[in-house]
DNA sequence: ATAAGAGATAAAGTTTACTTGAAGTCAAGG
DNA sequence: CCTTGACTTCAAGTAAACTTTATCTCTTAT
């Protein structure tokens, strides 16, 4: 069982953020010791990693809340949770496609700069 | 020359957002008619598209501001602008890589759901 | 004994990027 | 004439996700 400090060191997530996630219901069943201090086990860690992956891919807190709520409901919600993940997967794939398209525009801009620079170079040589 | 309404229809960007971008200095040389109403030409449109691409790839307003400021400085800032774009390109590539990594985690979760569902199915058949 | 250090809660504050609202201008249509 | 519609500006409001602050408790080292 890990303290909150150990978890921040392991995950790079700030302690207030971990408390905030828990308060918002994103981290089910985090235990406490006799003094009320948080204790994280392996399962908590994998929840943290999962939530982090969802956040990093742009899923809003509110939607993760809903997911965890369904998880707590038990096996009867498996198909709905799967649907949420499938939908989110499509979202990520769309984001990636858009990033590639916009990356093309940046690359085009960079190509223009290359032309500009070589023009400037040639001009300088002439002088 | 296009009115702001025509530009919103063409680009899907709300008029207040266009005004906001202009006020923040992201859109250089947008002209006005004799009554002070905005008129956009082809160059303005391509600035709008460019700014949109930068925003969509996560560049903060403040950094775009800096870029446009350099642009206004003239040719002497070309290499710095190019450096900004190169750096941003690396950023986008990093984002894409991270999205792929996190997509893998989501796919792993989905695979787990497939196993779970087939287990449930088999259990039901037994009953 | 007591002061430091880790952790807790609750509430307020911050940041970023817009968005909305209030109030005014101006040309055109009934 | 005067109202409607499409603008304008400036200021204030909003949403999301944290982050900071204030205050309190408890264990531990001096």
Check residue A33 and report its DSSP letter. Answer: -
What's the rounded mean pLDDT across residues A21-38?
97
Domain count, chain B: 2
Can you state the percent helix, strand and coil of chain B, rounding each to 5? 75, 5, 20
Q: Are residues B11 and B53 in the same domain?
A: yes
What's the rounded mean pLDDT across residues A103-111?
98
DSSP code string of A46-61: HHHHHHHHHHHTT--H
Q: Are residues B107 and B91 in the same domain?
A: yes
> What is residue A127's predicted lDDT score, i.e. its pLDDT?
61
> Is the pLDDT reported for residue A11 higher than 90?
yes
Check residue B47 and report its DSSP letter. Answer: H
- Mutation for A interface: B48, B53, B63, most A CBs within 10 A: B53
Q: How many CB atoms lie within 10 A of CB A44?
A: 21
In 3D space, the residue among A82, A91, A94 whose CA is nearest the CA of residue B111 turns out to be A82
> What is residue A124's predicted lDDT score, i.e. its pLDDT?
80
In 3D space, the residue among A32, A42, A28 whose CA is nearest the CA of residue A71 turns out to be A28
Q: Could you read off the pLDDT of B41-50 as tens digits, one per residue?
A: 999 999 999 9
Q: Which nucleotide is nearest to A37 (CA to C1')?
A: C7
User: What confidence tier does A117 reach under pLDDT thresholds 50, 70, 90?
Assistant: confident
> Is the pLDDT reported for residue B5 higher than 90?
yes
Cβ contact B106–A88 (<8 Å): yes
What's the rounded mean pLDDT across residues B53-69?
98
Q: Are residues B51 and B95 in the same domain?
A: no
Q: Are residues B67 and B96 in the same domain?
A: no
Contact pairs from chain A to chain B, CB under 8 Å:
89
> What is residue A62's predicted lDDT score, i.e. its pLDDT?
98
Q: Which residue has the higher pLDDT, B6 or A125?
A: B6
CB B16 within 7 Å, strand C: yes
The residue range of the domain holding B113 is 78-127
Cβ neighbourhood burial of B20 (10 Å; 0-12, 13-18, 19+): middle
Q: Which nucleotide is nearest to A23 (CA to C1')?
A: C9
Check residue A24 and report its DSSP letter. Answer: T
Q: Which of B27, B44, B73 is the last residue of a domain?
A: B73
Cβ contact B50–A109 (<8 Å): yes
* Average pLDDT score over chain B: 96
> What is residue B124's predicted lDDT score, i.e. its pLDDT?
81
> What is residue A120's predicted lDDT score, i.e. its pLDDT?
85
Cβ contact A106–B89 (<8 Å): yes
As a rounded value in angstroms, the CA-to-C1' distance for B51 and C11 is 38
> Is the pLDDT reported for residue A8 higher than 90?
yes
Task: Name the residue with the least CA to C1' distance from nucleotide D7.
Answer: B37
Q: Are residues A35 and A1 in the same domain?
A: yes
> What is residue B125's predicted lDDT score, i.e. its pLDDT?
81
CATH code (residue A68):
1.10.1660.10
| A86 interaction partners in chain B (CB closer than 8 Å) | 110
Q: Could you read off the pLDDT of B11-36 as tens digits, one per residue?
A: 999 999 999 999 999 999 999 999 99
Q: Give percent of chain B above pLDDT 70.
A: 98
Cβ contact B110–A89 (<8 Å): yes
B53 Cβ under 8 Å from any chain A Cβ: yes
> What is residue B127's predicted lDDT score, i.e. its pLDDT?
62
Q: Which of B28, B48, B73 is the last residue of a domain?
A: B73
User: What confidence tier does A31 reach under pLDDT thresholds 50, 70, 90?
Assistant: very high
């Amino acid at each position: 069982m890990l303290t909150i400090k150990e978890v921040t060191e392991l995950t790079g997530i700030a302690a207030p953020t971990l408390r905030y996630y828990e308060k918002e219901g994103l981290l089910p069943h985090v235990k406490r010791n006799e003094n009320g201090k948080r204790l994280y086990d392996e399962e908590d860690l994998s929840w943290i990693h999962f939530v982090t992956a969802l956040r990093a891919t742009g899923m809003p807190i509110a939607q993760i809340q809903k997911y965890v709520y369904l998880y707590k409901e038990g096996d009867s919600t498996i198909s709905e949770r799967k649907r949420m993940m499938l939908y989110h997967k499509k979202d990520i794939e769309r984001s990636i496609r858009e990033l590639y398209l916009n990356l093309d525009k940046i690359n085009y801009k960079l190509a223009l700069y290359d032309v500009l620079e070589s023009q400037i170079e040639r001009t300088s040589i002439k002088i």
